[in-house]
Chains A and B, each alone.
Chain A
């Protein structure tokens, strides 16, 4: 029996093997993704992002548990950094998720970032397709610890929670572009530490200064994930944000935008792979570089000439 058939029969073993096929882009994975995509579409995707050590995994630990207790079929993807030097990775998010009731069928998968720099792995959004098709209705995606500009998460999920800590900065940090703009909900975690109230206040002020106001007021919740303080409230805001997106039609709008980018990415990647295979083989490039270095050509003309050759075959 094929993995795909076993997957359709509800085998978790087949699901995790198919995820490996997708992650490693083994032969046939695109065909499987096409089929899986058409059977999904029901899963709600919640992203958790923020700096390293903010408590993202510990927050997911609690939130996934609350969702499972509420009767949802829950999956978790947690991404940790791969080494740019060796390609190796220590995937340690699962370690913080010990309270998730595995007997309620929660599925947790760790991924190495494998060269991507946007906070997720290149294959993460494809892996969500498999989880969706398998029948999970709620997904938590945890990014690697991010700085201000690793924002891939906004294209991979419906609701974004940004997790910060009391030490995450002052009122000016809260006003900065990037990470601070993508939160649908803020969690100020480790709120037992000094400065928590100030952090919440600074975030509130920053949100009030936004030029464009939406109907959704970004909630700022002071949490202590390991001590399980205020997680119910955080979960309530997740539910409320989902209801808000559905009621206003923004969910469909957001997903349409994401799909546009997705189709574009598939196209661009196909072209890139084609170019790598045909135009950019070593000998051709060596020849061009040789001519440039002898002063017979320049990088701009050479690049344009390659493009013409690719597009028009001459």
Chain B
């Protein structure tokens, strides 16, 4: 049996627009993944705690509030501090090209902007998780 890819989808901060993240959640579910959706108005602390407790492979963050330059780095940094640096972070939102470059440099693996198809997202998650190295020793 192939292992399930586990994805956390979260919406941080003051942002009530959750149609997009629900569409992505349904698409990833239908692609055979286990999707944990945390709901709206999450703090970076809540998101990182959930990512670690759920041991997800990937954290997807949806931001439509314009606060992406604050929230993404906060999540990336906290995740690394708390020992979750192996988890990939991707995001979606209305994010200008210049900001995308800066965020990718800051540790966000991939950003999807309006017009991205769910097929693209499924494809990226599948490949990115497959490419991850796993060198943890159980015993």
Among B26, B45, B49, find the residue whose CB has the most chain A CB atoms closer than 10 A.
B49
Please, which residue of chain A has its CB at the minimum distance from the CB of B41?
Answer: A98
Cβ-defined contact, A89 with B29, below 8 A: yes
Taken together as a complex, chains A and B put the C-alpha atoms of A169 and B55 apart, in Å, by: 39
Count contacts on B: residues with CB < 8 A to the other chain: 32
Cβ-defined contact, B53 with A16, below 8 A: yes
Cβ-defined contact, B139 with A88, below 8 A: no
Contacts of B31 in A (CB 8 A): 86, 88
Cβ-defined contact, B137 with A102, below 8 A: no
Taken together as a complex, chains A and B put the C-alpha atoms of A107 and B50 apart, in Å, by: 9
Contacts of B35 in A (CB 8 A): 88-91
Taken together as a complex, chains A and B put the C-alpha atoms of A30 and B137 apart, in Å, by: 15
Contacts of B53 in A (CB 8 A): 12, 16, 107-109
Taken together as a complex, chains A and B put the C-alpha atoms of A12 and B38 apart, in Å, by: 19
Q: Does B59 contact A (CB under 8 A)?
A: no
Taken together as a complex, chains A and B put the C-alpha atoms of A43 and B4 apart, in Å, by: 29
Cβ-defined contact, B84 with A13, below 8 A: yes
Q: Does A18 contact B (CB under 8 A)?
A: yes
Shortest Cβ distance from B3 into chain A, in angstroms? 5
Contacts of B136 in A (CB 8 A): 3, 17
Please, which residue of chain B has its CB at the minimum distance from the CB of A107?
Answer: B53
Task: Fill in one digit per residue for A8-31: 1 if any B CB lies within 8 Å of its CB, else 0.
Answer: 000111001111110010111101
In chain B, positions 92-133 with a C-beta closer than 8 Å to chain A are none
Cβ-defined contact, B83 with A88, below 8 A: no
In chain B, positions 28-68 with a C-beta closer than 8 Å to chain A are 28-39, 45-46, 49-50, 52-55
Shortest Cβ distance from B31 into chain A, in angstroms? 6
Among B84, B136, B137, find the residue whose CB has the most chain A CB atoms closer than 10 A.
B136
Cβ-defined contact, A18 with B30, below 8 A: no
What is the interface of chain B, defined by CB distance below 8 A to chain A? 3-4, 6, 25-26, 28-39, 45-46, 49-50, 52-55, 82-84, 136-139
Sorted nearest first, the 5 A-B pairs with minimum C-beta distance are: A16-B55, A88-B29, A95-B39, A13-B83, A2-B137
